[in-house]
Amino acid sequence: MRTSLLLLVVGVTAGVPDTGSAQAAPAVPCAVPVASSPQEQWQQVSAQGFTFCVPSSWRAAGRNTFRGDRGWVRWGTGEPRPTEVGTVTVSVPAGSPPPTLPGGHTRFPETIGGFVAELWDNEYEGTFYTGAQWQTPVRVYLQGQTTDVGGRHRQLEIYRTVRFTQT
């Protein structure tokens, strides 16, 4: 007897209500130190209920999106809507353990801005999917995608600059 195992690698995409937009406004220097980039200038982005920082070389690209380092980061409120990135079908003999998932899949909690966030850092076929989501004090997320290892690390640095504002 053979059993099929369907593997879905899930990324996330926008499509939920926004919490602000990437507006053309004078750049505000980032007040959060970025340890891995002490010489580089970063700018603060303000959204409803929170702020975060991006490198000054990154540019606004539509609502709630910044682009840089061969990738993008966007933000929103609520839950990011999952999107299928790839599907792999394998045959597994009955009684056998499922095969190892392709790519890398990492989810971990981290305290950022005084609140616990769930971060993810996944890789599938040369593309990195990253993100962070907070349930409190405001349900917000940031997510990104890049084909560059350095860009992946930069996106995680961006998520670590989130600070929540008084409402």
- Please tell me which residue, 16 or 157, carries the higher pLDDT value: 157
Using the predicted structure, report yes or no on whether residue 12 has a pLDDT greater than 90.
no
Distance in angstroms (rounded) separating the CA atoms of residues 113 and 125: 32
Domain boundary assignment for the chain:
14-80+103-164
Token pair recorded at residue 8: 């879905």
**Per-residue confidence band for 13, with pLDDT thresholds at 50, 70 and 90:** very low
32-71 pLDDT, tens per residue?
Answer: 988 777 788 999 999 989 999 999 999 999 889 999 999 9
At position 59, the amino acid (one-letter code) is R
Q: pTM for this one?
A: 0.76
Tell me 29's DSSP state: E
Closest CA to 14 of 73, 86, 101: 73
Element (H, E) at 108: strand 107-112
Q: Are 61 and 67 in contact (CB under 8 A)?
A: yes
Using the predicted structure, report yes or no on whether residue 101 has a pLDDT greater than 90.
no
3-state secondary structure of 104: strand
Q: Give the model's pLDDT for residue 5.
A: 34
Mention the CATH class of domain 14-80+103-164: alpha beta
